[in-house]
């Protein structure tokens, strides 16, 4: 568990077997009644060779999950219907097979791991029982033999102390460990195909790196084929052989991974690649795909991407483009791919809004030694028995006009910090100076005044809007709460705000459930801007959105900053996005800031070992870089914040930890220079030779 393995993942591995273990031909799946069908999967075909790894990439609603669930016989019928197609597993059609035969294949020959490891394990059965069940079911092993194999498998997926852990229940494991167990469950019967349905989406980036590494290692050891479902093109770029990109139920482009990135032919794939900020290139403006994900209630008789496509012509709206073969294993479904392929890949960046005027060096917000502790109470009398140190002495400044990003893994206290600054959580200690006035622990009118100047954009576009209010009411709420203006002037202001965030006036009387995720997030932004605040705290505002929508929202935030002279505190975990949009970065670990400095300095020459590990775990949208880059894979997970380790909180996972780290809290030291600006690091070994 301790320390870290540095290893290079060989992204250019070639699969050995050439025979297809799975061949899907013309699969179509519809949902709902025949007269108002939802066309979830349309004419999808792909082959999977023995030992090959294929990624199916697409946004939510693209049909990627439905496709594999259909293969596994996991969609409910009705409402689901397979209207066409075959899926041959070693020559046998999975779709025509009786349920009892499919059950045999499922789990033994084809296994699946899921996005949410917690909900895919039964909470009331021990891990050991769930593991051995499959073995006894499929391989008819006796109890002792099944247990032995289960233990081996737990060892293989890196669960320490397996004999004891066999008797534990799912809630006693961390998210990363649970996903390892989910993988062990899937692999106990040594399947020939492993289907991974977004297995790392719910996990932190350092844990994601662990899981990817594990799956790649197991694939080599067991020689199985993998179908990896993901929304993240950059993640899969590093380790799969081939990629199939899905859009609105159809595969639009399929190619060997190198070719997909170097010789992209479909406008949607190009759009996806342009929406991802590059870690290496200079900060050019993101080029989002316009519009919103498609409506799949129309029969697929035309190119579903046409409404969002810059190259669309009449033919695209009338006829569905067939999948054309370009070369070895490269197919694309676009009428104009020949012209598209010849275009330069990054369109001359729509002149990035003149690099926002250098922030004045005057701090707008000064947070010093902020602490937020949540008491843990037990017993009838609610005696306090401990405290969760969610935020444990955090200090930072936000300069007027800049974007400060607060990054870290889940549970590091970054959201709590944001909420405490806004007064949604009561700080246990420390001060929050906004424009020179201390607001820590403010209440009543004082707090109300601050909320004119400071607003928040929330993470979840589904949960942050009251489902029973119309869009107009939601946006106008801040004005009503602050008693600004009359009813008529507020109405006018709501219209202004709708236009400002790029929403049609007609949406004013709609309810949130009628909007797409991107539209909802725009409503959330409009609501925050209603009372003309100076400072916006954006709490992971894009992490719940589809990739092509993320770029739209990021660009919107960028434009608003320039137009309205806003200052942002941007809380997030997507480091490539943060590098793109922030001026300075603060890295948090377990309630403390471990490193803070200008984005260029922190990303260019990280000094804290945790920052280095985080940065190396970022997936790069480039299969070549993915292969050569050195990754530092951190062991273990984030410790329990109610019992933080003594000394440096990071030492149990740190590759550089020495004796002093276990005893003394590291002092914050400035490694900045006149050129790079302030660069504060809290590490005993910062500045020593890097690992």
- Binds another protein (CB under 8 A): choice among 12, 104, 161, 295: 295
613 sits near another protein (criterion: CB under 8 A): no
Locate the DSSP E strands across 58-103. 80-89, 92-93
482 sits near another protein (criterion: CB under 8 A): yes
Q: How far is the CB of 396 from another protein (least distance, A)?
A: 20
Contact pattern from residue 641 through residue 660 relative to another protein, giving x for each residue in contact according to CB under 8 A and a dash for the rest: --------------------
Q: How far is the CB of 174 from another protein (least distance, A)?
A: 20
Look at residues 498, 493, 467 and name the one whose alpha carbon lies nearest to residue 480: 493
- Binds another protein (CB under 8 A): choice among 4, 156, 225, 229: 229
Contact pattern from residue 368 through residue 407 relative to another protein, giving x for each residue in contact according to CB under 8 A and a dash for the rest: --------------x-------------------------
Q: How far is the CB of 195 from another protein (least distance, A)?
A: 12
Q: How far is the CB of 455 from another protein (least distance, A)?
A: 7
Environment class of residue 675 by beta-carbon count within 10 Å: exposed (0-12), middle (13-18) or buried (19+)?
Answer: exposed
Q: Hey, which residues does 193 pair with through a beta bridge? A: 110, 225
CA dihedral of residues 89, 91, 92, 94 (deg, nearest 10): 30
Dihedral sign, Cα of residue 666, residue 669, residue 672, residue 673: negative
- The CA–CA distances, whole Å, from 518 to 271, 378, 543, 554 equal 16, 42, 11, 11
Q: Which stretch binds another protein (CB under 8 A): 363-371, 493-501, 512-520, 675-683?
A: 512-520
- Binds another protein (CB under 8 A): choice among 22, 40, 216, 312: 40
- Binds another protein (CB under 8 A): choice among 252, 296, 334, 613: 296
Contact pattern from residue 439 through residue 478 relative to another protein, giving x for each residue in contact according to CB under 8 A and a dash for the rest: --------xx--xx--xx-xxx-xxxxxxxx-------xx
Distance (Å, whole) CA 671 – CA 597: 9
Angle at 533 between CA 529 and CA 534, to 5 degrees: 130
- Binds another protein (CB under 8 A): choice among 3, 25, 32, 47: 32
Instruction: Look at phi and psi of residue 411 and say left if phi exceeds 0, alpha if psi is from -120 to 50, else beta.
Output: left
Q: Select 33 or 386, whichever has its Cβ closest to another protein.
A: 33
SS3 of the chain: helix, strand, coil, percent, to 5: 35, 25, 40
Element (H, E) at 314: helix 314-318
Q: Select 32 or 393, whichever has its Cβ closest to another protein.
A: 32
- Binds another protein (CB under 8 A): choice among 14, 18, 34, 36: 36
Phi, psi of 215 (to 5 degrees): -65, -40
Distance (Å, whole) CA 193 – CA 222: 10
Q: Which stretch binds another protein (CB under 8 A): 47-55, 131-139, 416-424, 563-571?
A: 416-424
Residues in the chain: 691
Size of the site for another protein (CB under 8 A): 58
Angle at 236 between CA 329 and CA 521, to 5 degrees: 120
Look at residues 532, 554, 420, 527 and name the one whose alpha carbon lies nearest to residue 465: 527
Element (H, E) at 370: strand 363-378
Distance (Å, whole) CA 410 – CA 204: 7
* Cβ atoms of 291 and 514 closer than 8 Å: no
111 sits near another protein (criterion: CB under 8 A): no
Pull the structure tokens for residue 658. 């020495």
Q: Hey, which residues does 56 pair with through a beta bridge? A: 229, 244
142 sits near another protein (criterion: CB under 8 A): no
Contact pattern from residue 66 through residue 95 relative to another protein, giving x for each residue in contact according to CB under 8 A and a dash for the rest: x--x--------------------------
Helix (H, G, I), strand (E, B) or coil at 643: coil
> In terms of DSSP bridges, do strands 250-256 and 242-247 run parallel, antiparallel, or are they unpaired?
antiparallel
In the 8-state DSSP scheme, what is residue 96?
T
- Binds another protein (CB under 8 A): choice among 151, 286, 316, 422: 422
Q: Select 336 or 451, whichever has its Cβ closest to another protein.
A: 451
Q: Select 74 or 366, whichever has its Cβ closest to another protein.
A: 74
Pull the structure tokens for residue 394. 């955090």
- Binds another protein (CB under 8 A): choice among 51, 63, 182, 627: 63
Q: Which stretch binds another protein (CB under 8 A): 87-95, 300-308, 527-535, 640-648?
A: 527-535
Q: Which stretch binds another protein (CB under 8 A): 9-17, 522-530, 640-648, 661-669?
A: 522-530
Within 10 Å of residue 100's Cβ, how many Cβ atoms?
7
Residues contacting 655, CB < 8 A, separation 6+: 3, 4, 609, 613, 632, 691
Element (H, E) at 414: helix 414-422
Pull the structure tokens for residue 116. 């949410």
Q: Select 311 or 462, whichever has its Cβ closest to another protein.
A: 462
524 sits near another protein (criterion: CB under 8 A): yes
Q: Which stretch binds another protein (CB under 8 A): 172-180, 216-224, 290-298, 397-405?
A: 290-298
- Binds another protein (CB under 8 A): choice among 65, 264, 403, 616: 65
Look at residues 370, 355, 489, 366 and name the one whose alpha carbon lies nearest to residue 426: 370
Contact pattern from residue 167 through residue 206 relative to another protein, giving x for each residue in contact according to CB under 8 A and a dash for the rest: ------------------------------xx--x-----
CA dihedral of residues 536, 539, 541, 543 (deg, nearest 10): 160
Q: How far is the CB of 511 from another protein (least distance, A)?
A: 6
Q: Which residues within the stretch 11-30 sit at the binding site for another protein (CB under 8 A)? A: none
Q: Which stretch binds another protein (CB under 8 A): 6-14, 415-423, 559-567, 569-577?
A: 415-423
Residues that bind another protein (CB under 8 A): 31-32, 36, 38, 40, 60-61, 63, 65-66, 69, 114-115, 197-198, 201, 229, 231, 293, 295-297, 382, 419, 422-424, 447-448, 451-452, 455-456, 458-460, 462-469, 477-478, 480-482, 510-514, 524, 527, 530-531
């Amino acid at each position: 568990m301790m320390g870290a393995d540095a290893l290079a993942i060989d992204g250019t591995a070639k699969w050995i077997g050439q025979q297809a273990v799975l061949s899907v031909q013309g699969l179509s799946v519809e949902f709902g009644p025949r007269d108002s069908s939802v066309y979830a999967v349309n004419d999808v075909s792909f082959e999977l060779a023995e030992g090959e790894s294929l990624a199916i990439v697409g946004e939510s609603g693209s049909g990627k999950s439905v496709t594999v669930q259909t293969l596994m016989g996991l969609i409910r019928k009705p409402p689901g219907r397979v209207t066409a197609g075959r899926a041959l597993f070693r020559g046998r059609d999975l779709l025509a097979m009786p349920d009892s035969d499919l059950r045999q294949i499922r789990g033994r020959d084809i296994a699946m791991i899921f996005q949410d490891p917690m909900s895919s394990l039964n909470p009331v059965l021990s891990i050991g029982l769930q593991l051995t069940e499959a073995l006894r079911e499929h391989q008819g092993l006796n109890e002792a033999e099944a247990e032995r194999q289960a233990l081996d498998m737990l060892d293989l997926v890196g669960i320490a102390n397996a004999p004891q852990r066999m008797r534990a229940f799912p809630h006693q494991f961390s998210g990363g460990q649970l996903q390892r167990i989910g993988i062990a469950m899937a692999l106990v019967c040594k399947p020939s195909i492993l289907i991974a349905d977004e297995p790392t989406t719910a996990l932190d980036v350092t844990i994601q790196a662990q899981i990817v590494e594990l799956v790649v290692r197991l694939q080599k050891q067991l020689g199985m084929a993998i179908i990896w479902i993901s929304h993240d093109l950059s993640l899969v770029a590093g380790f799969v052989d081939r990629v199939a990109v899905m859009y609105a139920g159809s595969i639009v482009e399929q190619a060997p991974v190198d070719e997909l990135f170097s010789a992209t032919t479909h406008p949607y794939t190009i759009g996806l690649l342009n929406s991802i900020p590059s870690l290496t290139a200079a900060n050019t403006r993101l080029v989002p795909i316009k519009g919103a994900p498609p409506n799949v209630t129309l029969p697929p008789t035309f190119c579903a991407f046409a409404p969002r496509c810059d190259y669309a012509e009449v033919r695209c709206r009338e006829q569905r483009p067939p999948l054309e073969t370009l070369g070895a294993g490269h197919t694309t479904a676009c009428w104009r791919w020949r012209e598209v392929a010849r275009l330069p890949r990054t369109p001359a960046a729509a002149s990035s809004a003149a690099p926002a005027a250098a922030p004045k060096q005057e701090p707008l917000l000064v947070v010093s030694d902020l602490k937020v502790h949540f008491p843990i109470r037990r017993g009838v009398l609610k005696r306090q028995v401990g405290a969760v140190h969610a935020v444990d002495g955090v200090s930072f400044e936000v300069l007027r006009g800049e974007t400060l990003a607060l990054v870290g893994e889940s549970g590091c206290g970054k959201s709590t910090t944001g909420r405490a600054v806004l007064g949604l959580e009561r700080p246990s200690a420390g001060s929050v100076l906004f424009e020179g006035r201390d607001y820590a622990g403010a209440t009543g009118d004082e707090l109300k005044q601050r909320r004119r100047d400071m607003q928040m954009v929330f993470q979840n576009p589904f949960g942050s809007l009251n489902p029973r209010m119309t869009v107009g009411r939601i946006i106008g709420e801040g004005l009503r709460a602050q008693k600004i203006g009359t009813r008529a002037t507020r109405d006018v202001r709501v219209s202004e705000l709708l236009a400002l965030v790029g929403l049609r006036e007609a949406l004013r009387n709609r309810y949130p459930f009628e909007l797409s995720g991107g539209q909802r997030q725009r409503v959330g932004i409009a609501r925050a801007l209603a009372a003309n605040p100076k400072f916006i705290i954006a709490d992971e505002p894009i992490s719940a959105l589809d990739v092509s929508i993320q770029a739209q929202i990021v660009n919107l935030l960028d434009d608003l900053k320039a137009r309205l002279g806003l200052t942002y505190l941007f809380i997030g975990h997507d480091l490539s996005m943060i590098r793109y949009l922030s001026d300075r970065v603060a890295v948090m670990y377990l309630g403390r800031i471990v490193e803070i400095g200008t984005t260029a300095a922190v990303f260019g020459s990280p000094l804290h070992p945790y920052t280095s590990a985080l940065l190396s775990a970022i997936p790069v949208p480039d299969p070549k870089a993915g292969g050569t880059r050195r990754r530092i894979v951190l062991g273990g997970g984030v410790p329990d914040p109610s019992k933080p380790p003594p000394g440096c909180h990071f030492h149990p996972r740190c590759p550089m930890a020495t004796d002093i780290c276990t005893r003394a809290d590291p002092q914050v030291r400035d490694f900045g220079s006149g050129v790079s600006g302030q660069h504060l690091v809290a590490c005993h070994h910062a500045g020593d030779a890097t690992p």
